[in-house]
Amino acid sequence: MKRYQVAIIGSGPAGLLLGALLHKAGIDAIILERQSRDYVLARIRAGVLEQGTVGLLHEAGVGARVEREGLVHGGFALNFNGHSLRIDLADLTGGKTVTVYGQTEVTRDLMAHRDQIGATTVYEAKDVSLEDFDGDAPRVSYTKDGQRHQIACDFIAGCDGFHGISRASVPDQALSTFERVYPFGWLGVLADVPPCSHELIYAGHERGFALCSMRSLTRSRYYIQCSLEDRIDNWSDQAFWDELRRRLDPAAAEAVVTGPSIEKSIAPLRSFVAEPLRFGRMFLVGDAAHIVPPTGAKGLNLAASDVHYLSQALIEFYGEHSSAGIDDYSRRALARIWKAERFSWSLTTLLHRFDTMTPFERRMQDAEFAYLQSSRSACASVAENYVGLPF
């Protein structure tokens, strides 16, 4: 039976970043991924990186391209029923910024790095099963090309996303989960057109939320709130552009350059946290442990801070023969996760149109925005969370 120090399940950004940081510390990890490499790279996800996330990419030795090609943003706009408010991130946080760089590119950089260092990733590893992680000798089995394989390891890192096998392998009674499912989705369009603004615009409107984002100066990413019953086939490109413009302030609407979509998809919105994040010698990391609605772009960044805590803990375990870090992983990670959950939930609640909202709740949205307009402290709170709380 082959043996690795750490078996990582899932080659999304969480698994790949963990693999890179462990490798740097001389810890040997294998990654088992259910899908093919091309499939993983075809997924379009969010695109805003906190400074801490960029720092981790540098630490892992994969920061060169994000440094070169990432767009540094010092602010973003909040639009609310026709009024626009700029959140000056740099000014409100003492110089902090975010970097616009697609998650797909992060994944691509990390995969290329894994090739360079000669680390093992098994793609299309089917029927992964996690065994004996409550004892001292965990094992992981999987099927590749019709053959069953088994590996031995010291630890298992469950980086396999919301629908993965890691969380599902924990007995129900050992796990508490907390969830809010929102009664709408986001319809996203990617198009090779210049963005309508040099900064992101988050817009709350009578007709529903809209977001203007980008991947580069020539590629835009737009979203509009839609019904969960909507189907992408019901949304022609033209219908999408028309609806987007209706929800933006006139200047932004005017500046939208339209073009054929190169990707169009609908994603549901969910808040979810599992507790705890450690089960003997298995850890939950990233989307396997928590989901945030995309308002605020915390998903990938939260996966990155989990990875930071876990990599530190494992490095401490192997370097100093101390289990203090792994004992504390769940508590440390959850403390930051809940704060990001709060921020993503509050921004989602402020900016979306809920069919079930009472007139009182609508007034609360108005008052929240009015408060932001009138208070630097309120804006500073948004900015502090948006650039990412420290880890």
Dist CA 153 CA 29 (whole Å): 9
Q: Tell me if residue 73 is catalytic.
A: yes
Q: Which is nearer to ligand APR, 158 or 204 (CB)?
A: 158
We find the least distance from the C-beta atom of residue 201 to ligand PHB, in angstroms, to be: 10
The entry of ligand APR, ligand PHB, none that residue 47 binds, CB within 5 to 8 Å by partner kind: ligand PHB
Catalytic residue among 202, 222, 309, 329: 202
Catalytic residue among 4, 142, 309, 386: 386
Query: Tokens 């988050």 belong to which residue?
Result: 202
Among 73, 205, 221, 332, binds ligand PHB (CB under 6 A): 221
Per CB under 6 A, does 158 bind ligand APR? no
The entry of ligand APR, ligand PHB, none that residue 247 binds, CB within 5 to 8 Å by partner kind: none
Q: Tell me if residue 386 is catalytic.
A: yes
Q: Considering all CA atoms of the chain, what is the largest pairwise distance in Å, rounded to the nearest integer?
A: 64
Q: Tell me if residue 142 is catalytic.
A: no
Catalytic residue among 4, 13, 23, 73: 73
Of the candidates 298, 142, 299, the residue with the CA atom closest to the CA atom of residue 288? 299
Per CB under 6 A, does 46 bind ligand PHB? yes
Among 4, 7, 10, 277, binds ligand APR (CB under 6 A): 10
Handedness of CA 348, 354, 356, 357 (dihedral sign): positive
Beta bridge partners, 77, equal 86, 201
Distances (CA, A) of 210 to 142, 187, 203, 206, 237: 42, 9, 5, 11, 15
Query: Tokens 């629908």 belong to which residue?
Result: 163
The entry of ligand APR, ligand PHB, none that residue 119 binds, CB within 5 to 8 Å by partner kind: none
Per CB under 6 A, does 216 bind ligand PHB? no
Per CB under 6 A, does 19 bind ligand PHB? no
Q: Tell me if residue 294 is catalytic.
A: yes
Binding mask 216-255 toward ligand APR (x if CB under 6 A, else -) reads ----------------------------------------
Per CB under 6 A, does 47 bind ligand PHB? yes
The entry of ligand APR, ligand PHB, none that residue 207 binds, CB within 5 to 8 Å by partner kind: none
Q: Which amino acid is at 145?
A: D
Q: Which is nearer to ligand PHB, 31 or 372 (CB)?
A: 372
Query: Tokens 């040099």 belong to which residue?
Result: 198
Dist CA 143 CA 125 (whole Å): 6
Q: Tell me if residue 371 is catalytic.
A: no
Omega within 30 of 0 (cis) for the link into 293: no
We find the least distance from the C-beta atom of residue 296 to ligand PHB, in angstroms, to be: 5
- The closest residue (CB) to ligand PHB is 213
Beta bridge partners, 139, equal 131, 152
Q: Which residues contact 218 (CB under 8 A, 6 or more apart)?
A: 192, 193, 194
Tokens of 112: 């290329």
We find the least distance from the C-beta atom of residue 386 to ligand PHB, in angstroms, to be: 9
Per CB under 6 A, does 285 bind ligand PHB? no
CB atoms near residue 28 (< 10 Å): 16
| H or E element in which residue 34 lies | none
Of the candidates 146, 206, 239, 231, the residue with the CA atom closest to the CA atom of residue 222? 239
Q: Which amino acid is at 105?
A: E
Helices (H), the chain: 13-24, 37-42, 51-59, 64-69, 89-92, 103-117, 165-168, 237-247, 250-255, 299-320, 324-351, 359-374, 376-387
Catalytic residue among 23, 290, 298, 308: 298
We find the least distance from the C-beta atom of residue 9 to ligand APR, in angstroms, to be: 5
Query: Tokens 């969010």 belong to which residue?
Result: 46
Per CB under 6 A, does 295 bind ligand PHB? yes
Among 286, 293, 296, 388, binds ligand APR (CB under 6 A): 286
Per CB under 6 A, does 294 bind ligand PHB? yes
* Residues at the site binding ligand APR, with contacts judged by CB under 6 A: 9-15, 32-35, 40, 45-46, 103, 125, 128, 159-161, 163-165, 286-287, 299-300, 303
* Residues at the site binding ligand PHB, with contacts judged by CB under 6 A: 46-48, 200, 211, 213, 221, 294-297
Active-site annotation, residues: 73, 202, 294, 298, 386
